Structure 1
Amino acid sequence: MATLHPRLAGDTRALGETELCWLRWMSDQRFAWLIIVPKREGLREWHHLREDEQIVLLKQVNTLAAQLETVTGADKINIGALGNMVPQLHIHVIARFEGDPCWPGPVWGQGQPEPWAESDQPAWIDKLDLSVLETL
């Protein structure tokens, strides 16, 4: 059984899951930011997934990126799988806006996160339709 890396567990909150992945959101009020984590123990790289799982992951990332763009009106969607600080494979999907705190640079290592209160969540979360992921 796969487990979520402690840093991912601490920095993000559960959104849902699919057969392949945990779906999470970054608790940082500065950005609309999703994290997609394949539920495979010891997985570090996308190309280590079986080809059929790579295709499913790509479809999930693309679907969530399109939805995030629509519900936030983002100027740009950033997608990345760096893994330099957290080795467990996870994909970032971030809505970016001209004039956001890090624009036009990357969000990583810039400024201080502004976590959401435990009882709060961003309004854009309720606008996502996660049910479409079940058909991928």
Structure 2
Amino acid sequence: MTDSFMLDPRLEATSVPVADWPLSQLRLKDDARFHWLLLVPRRPGVAELTDLDEDAYAQLAAEVLAATRVVQAVARPDKVNVAMLGNVVRQMHVHVVGRFQSDAAWPDPIWCKGAGPTYPPHALAVLRERYAEAARLHFAAL
């Protein structure tokens, strides 16, 4: 059920929508330091994996795999990190982050590096479209 789904304002303010998959909204984080996607299940009140039933959990796993492939296709990173924290924003969201040995945080985790510069609007729009196209291709392969 997605009728009463509302995106946390902090996620909405710091990312842009890329695609709507069966369970999750795929979003691009507006942080120019990293190729960073978010998967946000469109289910109200979901904070923990245990809030999902088995079918939704399996769907989330498939979407994480597809999002990882999307980041690999678009960014060609040295490594892709996948994490689900929820200490600041309780609403369930999964981070899929392309990492490069040359990035601003390497080899450390990105979490303690603060907010980075945002993309210029035109660059964000172009990158969002690249991710949207890759998302269409990789999700169709599921």
State TM-score, norm by structure 1. 0.90
For the residue of structure 2 that corresponds to 1:44, the secondary structure is coil
State TM-score, norm by structure 2. 0.87
Deviation at 1:134, TM superposition (A): 5.5
Deviation at 1:128, TM superposition (A): 1.3
The reply to whether residue 73 of structure 1 matches residue 79 of structure 2 is no
* Paired position in structure 1 for 2:112: 109
- Aligned partners of 2:29 and 2:38 also within 8 Å: yes
Deviation at 1:126, TM superposition (A): 5.3
Runs of 4+ aligned residues of structure 1 deviating over 2 Å after TM superposition are 117-120, 122-127, 129-136
* Paired position in structure 2 for 1:55: 58
> CA RMSD of the aligned region, Å?
1.8
Percent identity over the alignment is 32
Structure richer in helix, relative to its length: 2
Structure 2, unmatched stretches of 5+, are none
Distance 1:76 1:18 in 2: 24
Distance 2:6 2:54 in 1: 22
CA shift in 2, pair 1:16/1:129, >3 Å = closer
